[in-house]
Amino acid sequence: MKILKLMMLAALATMVVTSCVQNNQKGKKEETRKVLVLYYSLTSNTKAVAQEIATRLDADIEEVALVEPYDTAFQATVDRCKAEREKGILPEIKPLKSNIADYETVFIGYPVWFGTFAPPIASLVDKIDLSGKWVVPFCTFGSGGLESSAKDLAEKQPNAKILPGYGVRAARMDAMPKELEQFLNMYLGRPTFAPADFPEQHLVSADEAAIFDAAVNGYPMLNAKSKTVASRTVLDGTEYLFTAMDMPREDKPGMPPASEIQVYVLVEKDKAPVFTRVVR
Ligand SMILES: Cc1cc2nc3c(=O)[nH]c(=O)nc-3n(C[C@H](O)[C@H](O)[C@H](O)COP(=O)(O)O)c2cc1C
C-alpha cells in the first residue's frame, strides 16, 4: 500500500467529509454519520485529540478498549509489552460497537509506543477491514512516530486509502486545538495556510545550532548534534528542519542506537524554540 499524494487525496477527502457535514445540516440522519473516529489512549492525550476531531467533524467516536487494560505505570506497561512481544501475542480488545461498513472515512488514533502504533491498535487493524475506506491516522508521542506508524498501518491494510495524518508531542498538547483546526481545514475544504517546501539544507551556523540545542535540551531520549538545516515560514513563525546525529547515552540504557535523524523545530515570536517531531 502506498501513502498517496497529499494534494489529490486531500481534495477527495474534502469531498468525503464536507458531504457528511452538508447532509448533517439538512438533517438526514443516516447520511450524517459517515466519519468514524476510532482511538486507543492510555493516559488521555490521544483521547483529547480524538474528541477534538469528532467534535469538529461531527463524527462518531469510539474508544478501542482492552479486555485486560495496560497499567498506567510506564515500566509495568513496557514489561508487559515485552512479554507479549516475546510470546508473539497482541492484547485482546473488546468487540467494537461501531460497524465499520457504515463509514467512508475512519480516523484512527493512538499513542506511539516503540516507534509505531500501540499494540491495541495492532490488534484492531488485525481484526477489521479498511479496504476502500479513507483512513486518517493521528497520534500523540514523546518525540515522534507519525510517519513510521502510518507506514505500518498502510502495510497492515494494503487496500485502505491512507491520507496525510496528524501527530503531536505529549509536551505540546496545548498547541493541539489550533493545529488541528488547521489540519482539518484541509478535510473540510476551507482555506488553509500551506507553507512552501523546505529549501535545500545547508551546514548549520552557530545561531542555528543554538536554536537546535535549545529545542532538544532537556529531552531525555535525545542526545543529538545538528549537522545541516533548512527553514521556512509557517503560520506561527519559522520552522526549521534539522538533520542531526543522535548518539546513545551510556547512562541511559534502552536508548535507540546511533542514527541520523530529522528534527522539526518551531520558533514562534517571543517564544523559546521547541521541537515538534523527530523522524527516525
Ligand atoms: C510503553 C510506552 C512506549 C512508548 N514509546 C514511545 C516511542 O517509541 N516514541 C515516542 O515518541 N513516545 C513513546 N511513548 C510516549 C507516548 O507515545 C506518549 O506519552 C503519548 O502521548 C501517550 O498517549 P496517551 O495519553 O493517549 O496514552 C511511549 C509511551 C509508553 C507508555
Task: Give the rounded percent of residues in the chain with a pLDDT score beyond 70.
Answer: 88
Pairing outcome for strands 60-63 and 105-113:
unpaired
Give 141 Cα–ligand 1 centroid separation in angstroms.
Answer: 5
Stretch (H or E) spanning 166: strand 166-169
Whether the Cβ atoms of residue 208 and residue 229 lie closer than 8 Å to each other: yes
pLDDT at 11: 57
pLDDT one-digit tens code per residue, 20-34: 444 445 444 444 449
- Domain-by-domain residue ranges, the chain? 6-188, 202-279
Q: Which residues, including other chains, have CB under 8 Å from residue 121's CB and lie 6 or more apart?
A: 40, 64, 108, 110
The residue behind cell 466519519 is: 35
- Residue 4 scores a pLDDT above 50: no
Nearest CA to ligand 1 atom 29: 113
Index of the ligand 1 atom closest to the CA of residue 49: 26
User: What are the pLDDT digits (tens) for 209-252?
Assistant: 999 999 999 899 899 999 999 999 999 899 999 999 999 877 77
Please give the pLDDT value at position 232. 98
Q: Which pLDDT score, from 0 to 100, does residue 29 have?
A: 43
- 3-state SS assignment for residue 261: strand
Q: Which numbered atom of ligand 1 lies nearest the CA of 112?
A: 17
Q: pLDDT band at residue 127, thresholds of 50, 70 and 90?
A: very high
**Residue in this structure with the C-alpha cell 538533520, named with its chain if needed:** 243
Query: What is the amino acid identity at position 153?
Result: L
pLDDT, one tens digit per residue, over 89-104 is: 999 999 999 999 999 9
- Give the pLDDT score at 17: 62
pTM for this model (two decimals):
0.92
Q: What whole-number distance in Å separates Cα of residue 259 and Cα of residue 144?
A: 15
Atom of ligand 1 nearest to the CA of 141: 17
Rounded to whole angstroms, how far apart are CA atoms 32 and 68? 34
Whole-number Å distance, alpha carbon 29 to ligand 1 midpoint, is 37
| Ligand 1 centroid to residue 45 C-alpha, Å | 10
- State if residue 138 touches ligand 1 by the CB under 6 angstroms criterion: no
Please give the number of the atom of ligand 1 that sits closest to the Cα of 115: 8
**Does the beta carbon of 170 sit less than 6 angstroms from any atom of ligand 1?**
yes
171 C-beta closer than 6 A to ligand 1: no
Q: Is the CB of 140 under 6 A from ligand 1?
A: yes
Torsion (CA) 257, 258, 264, 269 in degrees, nearest 10: 110
Taking 90 as the threshold, does the pLDDT of residue 187 lie above it? no
Q: What's the CA-to-centroid distance between 112 and ligand 1, angstroms?
A: 5
Phi, psi of 100 (to 5 degrees): -55, -35
pLDDT class of 87 with cuts at 50, 70, 90 = very high
Cβ–ligand 1 contact at 115 (below 6 Å): yes
The kind and range of the H/E element at 241 are strand 237-246
The CATH number of domain 6-188, selected from 3.20.20.370, 3.30.420.10, 3.30.420.40, 3.40.50.360: 3.40.50.360
Cβ-proximal residues to 43 (8 Å cutoff; 6+ apart), any chain: 72, 111
Kindly report the backbone phi and psi dihedral angles of residue 119, in degrees, each rounded to the nearest multiple of 5, phi listed first: -50, -35
- Strand 105-113 with 116-117, pairing: antiparallel
